Amino acid sequence: MEKIRRNERMSAMMKILSDAPGKMFTLSYFCEMFGAAKSTISEDIDALRQAAKTFDLGAVETITGAAGGVAYRPRMSRQAARTYIEGLCRKLSGTERLLPGDFLYNSDILSTPEIVNQMGRILATEYAQTRPDFVLTMETKGIPVAFATANALGIPLVIARHSSKVYEGSAVNINYVSGSGNIETMSLSRRAVKENQEALIVDDFLRGGGTARGMVELMREFHVGVVGMAFVMSTIEPMKKRISGEKSLMTLEVLAGENPEAVVRPAAWLNG
Amino acid sequence: MEKIRRNERMSAMMKILSDAPGKMFTLSYFCEMFGAAKSTISEDIDALRQAAKTFDLGAVETITGAAGGVAYRPRMSRQAARTYIEGLCRKLSGTERLLPGDFLYNSDILSTPEIVNQMGRILATEYAQTRPDFVLTMETKGIPVAFATANALGIPLVIARHSSKVYEGSAVNINYVSGSGNIETMSLSRRAVKENQEALIVDDFLRGGGTARGMVELMREFHVGVVGMAFVMSTIEPMKKRISGEKSLMTLEVLAGENPEAVVRPAAWLNG
């Protein structure tokens, strides 16, 4: 193989690292791939760390020692996060997306990869320090953003279902009170999680908090802790939710009247 | 700002391009970001194209002219794809994952980002030339892989539901015959797609093809064409499906007996 130039090698490393967030690559892995000395790869990594920092593109982290290596972690500055969410709020506010019953049409936003990946990076930045073992969501609309968050954290996604499916094996079921006041069932395969793990709950929408409360109780059945709860959007009303300590990216207020209007705002913590 | 070194600039460009597959960035965008001349950025892009090619990391494509720019497209060589799927088949084969009724436990595989992203890249490589406008899936288990495929293609994901939800507005419903022989309902919001678009169907599992057939009929109601159908896994039995022309990544055969065994193989087209 002809000699690889440093800029090509570094670009390839950046791509490989950022494709697998949180995954630790040994220096030897890159030495072998590029036919380069450890000292060379080590210098490359220092330069990558600098480039990522300069352009707010996340963190290139190195761990020294026998079990050491290098890993990429998506990070988004608070300012970039706020600017991004402000743009989304403008898109969602107004009269056009309001549906009967004060629901807001947002299915398109919640499954457009470019948008969802940014939301995932923001939530991963916020919850990385809590070190969850997996992200938990309840089907269906929150799955893409929960997946993007899990991807950015480098951990698996676990999806609770409305009822246990034969193809998921034996399951734990719980009942919970849904937003509409009905008693519903939430189900998770016994194989999906292990005792003493820690979960980060991610979902698309928080109104009363019934479903979120159900997820917390489901985790209790599995002896799994909950390190945090994050939502794409929460309603201003009711102010009192069945859960506490959660973080949403946006809040939704509906102004009543002849032409009801949605007012979507960035959540207060994004100003901090 | 102090002068940015070429290798840092190129690494940052690679990261920005590959974070938004299919998105066209103008050269001016990078000129401004890095305070560099167009000729400089242009040389950088040539070197990035070479690096991506050398290490099988996808394609860096440039379009010249006023509306031109540069875009990254994930691509995986057929050989790398086959090797990856062979590894997955080894993980899924055997007796441990078999559930009563010849179902295979694969929920973990289907929601682990690292695995799902690779499957998404393989499917995006295979279907990029068909130029779909969006990826369509039916809730729930196929959502992550459909999302990853949409992400790799740089197009939105559209999720059909079992029944129309109030918060998705007016919807088109169709009935279809599910794998278990029941008549079920499939629903999609009117706002979700536009007439004359083209859909790529992606789902986790193909047995008889009833659900897939339902999705094709649903698209017909919207006057949307279907450019392809892709599945993570299809069963050997029944050989005759209700659809044709589909591609699966793996096939599943269950060997009956006292200890039934799952035999999972890479699909034949991966050998081509």
What digits encode the pLDDT tens for the residues B48-84?
999 999 999 999 999 888 778 999 999 999 999 999 9
Q: Which residues of A224-260 are buried (b: 16+ CB within 10 A; e: fewer)?
A: bebebbbbbbbbeeeeebbbeebbbbbbbebeeeeee
Spatial separation of the C-alpha atoms in residues A217 and B47, rounded to whole Å: 53
On whether the CB atoms of residues A198 and A170 are closer than 8 A, the answer is no
Identify which of A110, A19, A219, A126 has the alpha carbon closest to the alpha carbon of residue B55: A19
Q: Is B109 on the interface with A (CB under 8 A)?
A: no
Distances in whole angstroms, Cα of residue A143 to Cα of each of A99, A137, A176, B176, B209: 22, 6, 20, 24, 24
pLDDT of B1 reads: 45
Q: Six-digit token pair at A73?
A: 């972690």
pLDDT of A73 reads: 96
Dihedral sign, CA of B138, B142, B146, B149?
negative
Residue of B nearest to A156 (CA): B112
Spatial separation of the C-alpha atoms in residues A138 and A143, rounded to whole Å: 7
Q: Is A143 on the interface with B (CB under 8 A)?
A: yes
Give the number of other CB atoms < 10 A from CB of residue A171.
18
Q: What is the pLDDT of residues A9-67, one digit of tens each?
A: 999 999 999 999 999 999 999 999 999 999 999 999 999 999 999 999 999 999 888 77
Restricting to B residues 180-219, those with a Cβ less than 8 Å away from any Cβ of A are 189, 191-192
What are the residues whose beta carbons fall under 8 Å from the beta carbon of B240, sequence distance 6 or more?
none
Of the pLDDT bands very low, low, confident and very high (cuts 50, 70, 90), residue A176 is very high
Q: Six-digit token pair at B97?
A: 């994952």
Q: Six-digit token pair at B171?
A: 């919807």
Of the pLDDT bands very low, low, confident and very high (cuts 50, 70, 90), residue B3 is low
Which site among A5, A15, A105, A109 would you substitute to test the B interface, given the most B Cβ atoms closer than 10 Å to its Cβ? A15
Spatial separation of the C-alpha atoms in residues B187 and B242, rounded to whole Å: 20
Asked whether the predicted pLDDT for residue B16 surpasses 60, the reply is yes
Taking contacts as CB-CB distances below 8 angstroms, the residues of chain A near B194 are none
Restricting to B residues 26-85, those with a Cβ less than 8 Å away from any Cβ of A are 33, 44, 47-48, 50-52, 54-55, 57-58
Which site among B2, B10, B15, B105 would you substitute to test the A interface, given the most A Cβ atoms closer than 10 Å to its Cβ? B15
pLDDT of A65 reads: 80
Q: Is A103 on the interface with B (CB under 8 A)?
A: yes
User: What is the SS3 assignment for A196?
Assistant: coil
pLDDT of A2 reads: 53
Spatial separation of the C-alpha atoms in residues B57 and B69, rounded to whole Å: 19
Asked whether the predicted pLDDT for residue A227 surpasses 50, the reply is yes
Q: Six-digit token pair at B16?
A: 């920005």
Taking contacts as CB-CB distances below 8 angstroms, the residues of chain A near B108 are 156, 191-192
Omega within 30 of 0 (cis) for the link into B156 = no
CB-CB under 8 Å, B144 with A147 = yes
CB-CB under 8 Å, B12 with A7 = no
CB-CB under 8 Å, A23 with B116 = no
What are the residues whose beta carbons fall under 8 Å from the beta carbon of A92, sequence distance 6 or more?
A104, A106, A109, A250, A252, A262, A264
Give the number of other CB atoms < 10 A from CB of residue B230.
24
On whether the CB atoms of residues A127 and A135 are closer than 8 A, the answer is no
Q: Six-digit token pair at B249?
A: 């990544």
Q: What is the pLDDT of residues B127-140, one digit of tens each?
A: 999 999 999 999 99
Number of A–B residue contacts, CB under 8 Å: 193
Query: Which residue matches tokens 């947002």?
Result: A106
Identify which of A239, A191, A231 has the alpha carbon closest to the alpha carbon of residue A215: A231
Q: Is B20 on the interface with A (CB under 8 A)?
A: yes
Average pLDDT, chain A: 94
CB-CB under 8 Å, A11 with B14 = yes
Q: What is the pLDDT of residues A91-146, one digit of tens each?
A: 999 999 999 888 899 999 999 999 999 999 999 999 999 999 999 999 999 999 99
The distance of Cα B223 from the centroid of its chain, to the nearest Å, equals: 22
Of the pLDDT bands very low, low, confident and very high (cuts 50, 70, 90), residue B178 is confident
Taking contacts as CB-CB distances below 8 angstroms, the residues of chain A near B203 are none
Q: Is A154 on the interface with B (CB under 8 A)?
A: yes
Q: Is B233 on the interface with A (CB under 8 A)?
A: no
* Range of lowest pLDDT (B37-41, B92-96, B167-171): B167-171
CB-CB under 8 Å, B5 with A47 = yes
Q: Say what the alpha-carbon torsion angle A143, B93, B88, A170 is, to the nearest 10 degrees.
A: 20
Q: Are strands B247-255 and B225-235 parallel, antiparallel or unpaired?
A: parallel
Query: Which residue matches tokens 């593109």?
Result: A57
Spatial separation of the C-alpha atoms in residues B202 and B134, rounded to whole Å: 10
Identify which of B242, B44, B239, B260 has the alpha carbon closest to the alpha carbon of residue B251: B239
CB-CB under 8 Å, A19 with B14 = no
Q: What is the pLDDT of residues A246-272, one digit of tens each?
A: 999 999 999 998 889 999 999 999 997
Angle at B205 between CA B200 and CA B206, to 5 degrees: 80
CB-CB under 8 Å, A113 with B150 = yes
Nearest to A144 among B16, B20, B143 (CB): B143
**A101 CA: distance to closest CA in chain B (Å):** 8
Query: Which residue matches tokens 């499957």?
Result: B119
What domains, with CATH codes, occur in chain A?
6-73 (1.10.10.10), 78-271 (3.40.50.2020)
Which site among A6, A7, A164, A206 would you substitute to test the B interface, given the most B Cβ atoms closer than 10 Å to its Cβ? A7
pLDDT of A169 reads: 84
Helix (H) or strand (E) holding A159: strand A157-160
Q: Is B160 on the interface with A (CB under 8 A)?
A: no
DSSP 8-state secondary structure symbol assigned to residue B5: P
pLDDT of A1 reads: 45
**B157 CA: distance to closest CA in chain A (Å):** 5
ipTM: 0.96
Residue of A nearest to B118 (CA): A19
CB-CB under 8 Å, A19 with B117 = yes
